[in-house]
Structure 1
């Protein structure tokens, strides 16, 4: 049946043409934009994912810039620390030269002062965009990543760069909680009289024939039996003094008591004894009787140095701002700990502080280890002083101070005297190590930042590739599809034209 009101063939042809045109329009859009998903209506789920990933790419590009800025800042600090290390090494060379007595120490001191001023200049200038990592103690955080959790939560991740204070500031003593229990001075006074550094051996000869054997730091003597204990001890006195041990003196009281005295500032000696047979030795070390009483067998003890000990805790944690003090004759010498420091750092800082003081005849040394604890040994040679036979020694500690600089004590190196030259040689080693540690810390941080920067660049490329996989059009496929759709469009147009001409045949029925 034919109808002039309803042309079914034309309707079918029109729908076909509309479908072809829709596909052709989409294909042309893919070719012109290069994307298969250009808007949310193309594929809402894929479009949403791609937009999240694009925002991450934008963020990571900002992170890359942050890392570049941070790497440059750390590089400046590393160069400053390395330069400081080189300058401190030159200072060490000057101090070594000053150990000789027949040199012009005043001229050497002038050179040291110039090198010190150069270090101050380097530390002050080591800033990038106003940020100086070799001054102060506050850590610096460099944005390094954006971590997206499965639930969509984004967390910023930082690389923390520890500041390495290479200034010479003395710090500010704290006013907080007491830390007095972490530091203990060994005696109320330090002196040069030999007190508290002697060992008494009281010998009792009961067998009537045994020899007495003694060793001092490996130097052995044998005292043959002779009449009685007193005579044997007198003989022992002569043999020990004949050894020529520096600072060691033996004396006998004529009744069988041998006293060994050590006048060395920091050197201690091991004393071994073997009374032989049934003979006995009663030991009194530094004014304290041996708790074991009389010894019938061999034994040993330590003849300590003349210096007094200021012992630091083996268990207490050191926090930034912890302030420790050694007082000599009422003069306070402080060291305030910085971030990440240990009791060894505190001990070396206190040594440096005392060395920088004006105490005539006072010398110091750091002894000990992490297991047994660190000590500051303070010695006083009364022959060089005018204050009398002894000097008072005290200690204290409080939290809440402002940390001393990593090169604390550099300003006070003075090689114009024997004592100053000796102290400077020891203290400059600590300063060099602090500077080396600072340079190593910055080098490690710079390496990590560089690695993260390379990773971020690679990650951005991977994200871009992933986004392209999701939304980019396959141009080869789109091109081929365009050709096919253009042919389909022509055919559909022709089909619609034919369908529209079909009702014309009805006119022939009315002729």
Structure 2
């Protein structure tokens, strides 16, 4: 049936043309935007994912900038530390030259002062955008990543850079909790003096001809063969034999059958042993310097003359822990920084005391091979001086080059102590450079990773939303053909009612 009111063919042709036109519009949109999903109405799920990932990409771009800034800052600090190490090495050369007495130490000190001032200038200038990593102790965090969990939670990750203080500041002594128990003075001594330490070997009264005695001191064995029964002869013989050895800091004196061996060796104990073939005198007895029985009935070690401040082997050292040693009326402080140990404390106090340049006072830091305990020995070749120690928490750390400004080689004692101090300072600077080098390499690796990760995210987003242009091109050609056919079909359908007119002619 034909109707002039309802043209079903035209309606079908029109709907087909509308569908083709809609698909044409979608295809043209893909061509113009380059995306198959350009808005939420195209595919809401894919669009939401792509927008989250695009936000992450923008975040990683900011992280890349942060890493670049951090890498540059650390690079400046590393280069400064390497420069400081070189300057300290130059200072060491000057100090070594000053060990010779037949040199102009005043001119050498002038050179050292100039190099020291140059180090101060380098430390002060080693900043990037106002951030100096070789001054102070506060940590610096560099944003390194954004971590998204499966539930959508996002957290930031940081690379923490430890500052490596290369200043010469003395720090500020703390007033917090008393931690004096972490350091103790050997034997509870309250003074440091030049008094010799002694051991006494007592020879018995019964000596027959050809009886023998052997005494070993500082590894040198001395022998005696008796000619009579007087033990004073034995003691007198060993007195002369020991004094004849010319051992540094070692003398002997006798009274009757008692032989007193004295040692003024500052930082070295003196081993003594005695034995005899006659039963009349037993094996001899040696009384140690502190008045107690020796290591065995016939041997002992005469203690070093220096008094020792021994540091705990179990207590941890915290940032701001303050240690003070008082010699006479002068106090010397060292305030520990982050990640330091009792070794650093002992060496810091040594540097402080050496810088005080008290006449007759010399120091030495050592570690017990068995207990691993660090000790600071303080010797006095002059008048007796009071000795005390205290320690408290809550201070401000001393600089990593603490004591550099106290180096003075114009005296024998100053030149000698400077040689020990410069080794500690050089090691501090080397450690700083090494730490910055490791941090810089880590930042560089993270920066490379972030760059690759950003590229991968962009590629993933493109896979989700980008249009396949080859496919779109083929679809456009097909749609254009369909559009033309639909227009022709609609035209034919619209002409169909006109054929009804011929029926009325």
Matched, 1:264 2:258: no
Asked if the contact 1:226–1:232 (Cα under 8 Å) also holds between the matched residues in 2, the reply is: no
Q: TM-score, normalized by length of structure 1?
A: 0.92
Matched, 1:414 2:408: yes
Aligned partner of 1:254 in structure 2 is: 256
Q: Give the one of 452, 457, 462 matched to 2:451.
A: 457
Deviation at 1:277, TM superposition (A): 8.3
Asked if the contact 2:357–2:414 (Cα under 8 Å) also holds between the matched residues in 1, the reply is: no
- What does 1:254-403 align with in structure 2 at a 5 Å threshold? 254-255=256-257, 257-275=258-276, 279-290=282-293, 295=297, 300-369=299-368, 371-382=371-382, 389-403=383-397
What SS does structure 2 have at the residue aligned with 1:76? helix
**Aligned pair in 2 of structure 1 residues 221, 42: CA closer, same or farther (>3 Å)?**
same
- What does 1:28-47 align with in structure 2 at a 5 Å threshold? 28-47=28-47
**Aligned pair in 2 of structure 1 residues 275, 152: CA closer, same or farther (>3 Å)?**
farther
Asked if the contact 1:205–1:280 (Cα under 8 Å) also holds between the matched residues in 2, the reply is: no
Aligned partner of 2:247 in structure 1 is: 245
Q: Give the one of 483, 488, 498 matched to 2:482.
A: 488
Q: State the distance in 2 between where 1:61 and 1:471 align.
A: 21
Deviation at 1:47, TM superposition (A): 0.5
Q: Which moved more, 1:128-137 or 1:237-246?
A: 237-246
What SS does structure 2 have at the residue aligned with 1:73? helix
**Aligned pair in 2 of structure 1 residues 399, 13: CA closer, same or farther (>3 Å)?**
same
What SS does structure 2 have at the residue aligned with 1:15? helix
Deviations 1:331-386 (A, max 9, x none): 1111111111111111111111111114211111111158431111111112xxxx
Asked if the contact 1:283–1:289 (Cα under 8 Å) also holds between the matched residues in 2, the reply is: no
* Structure 2 unmatched ranges of 5 or more: none
Deviation at 1:259, TM superposition (A): 2.8
Deviation at 1:221, TM superposition (A): 3.1
What SS does structure 2 have at the residue aligned with 1:181? helix
What SS does structure 2 have at the residue aligned with 1:245? coil
Q: State the distance in 2 between where 1:147 and 1:276 align.
A: 82
Q: TM-score, normalized by length of structure 2?
A: 0.93
Q: State the distance in 1 between where 2:504 and 2:429 align.
A: 113
Deviation at 1:207, TM superposition (A): 9.7
Q: State the distance in 1 between where 2:278 and 2:2 align.
A: 144
Runs of 4+ in 1 over 6 A off after TM superposition: 205-210
Aligned partner of 1:423 in structure 2 is: 417
How many residue pairs match? The answer is 498
Q: State the distance in 2 between where 1:200 and 1:47 align.
A: 95
Deviation at 1:247, TM superposition (A): 1.6
Q: State the distance in 2 between where 1:465 and 1:117 align.
A: 54
Q: Which moved more, 1:259-268 or 1:95-104?
A: 259-268
Aligned partner of 2:195 in structure 1 is: 193
Aligned partner of 1:92 in structure 2 is: 92
Aligned partner of 1:69 in structure 2 is: 69
Deviations 1:88-143 (A, max 9, x none): 11111111111111111111111111111111111111111111111111111111
Matched, 1:115 2:115: yes
Asked if the contact 2:174–2:322 (Cα under 8 Å) also holds between the matched residues in 1, the reply is: yes
Deviations 1:465-505 (A, max 9, x none): 11101100111111111111111111122222222222222
Deviation at 1:276, TM superposition (A): 5.9
**Aligned pair in 2 of structure 1 residues 86, 35: CA closer, same or farther (>3 Å)?**
same
Deviations 1:126-177 (A, max 9, x none): 1111111111111111111111111111111111111111111111111111
What SS does structure 2 have at the residue aligned with 1:356? helix
* Structure 1 unmatched ranges of 5 or more: 383-388
Q: State the distance in 1 between where 2:184 and 2:381 align.
A: 22
Q: State the distance in 1 between where 2:405 and 2:68 align.
A: 36
Q: Which moved more, 1:229-238 or 1:496-505?
A: 229-238
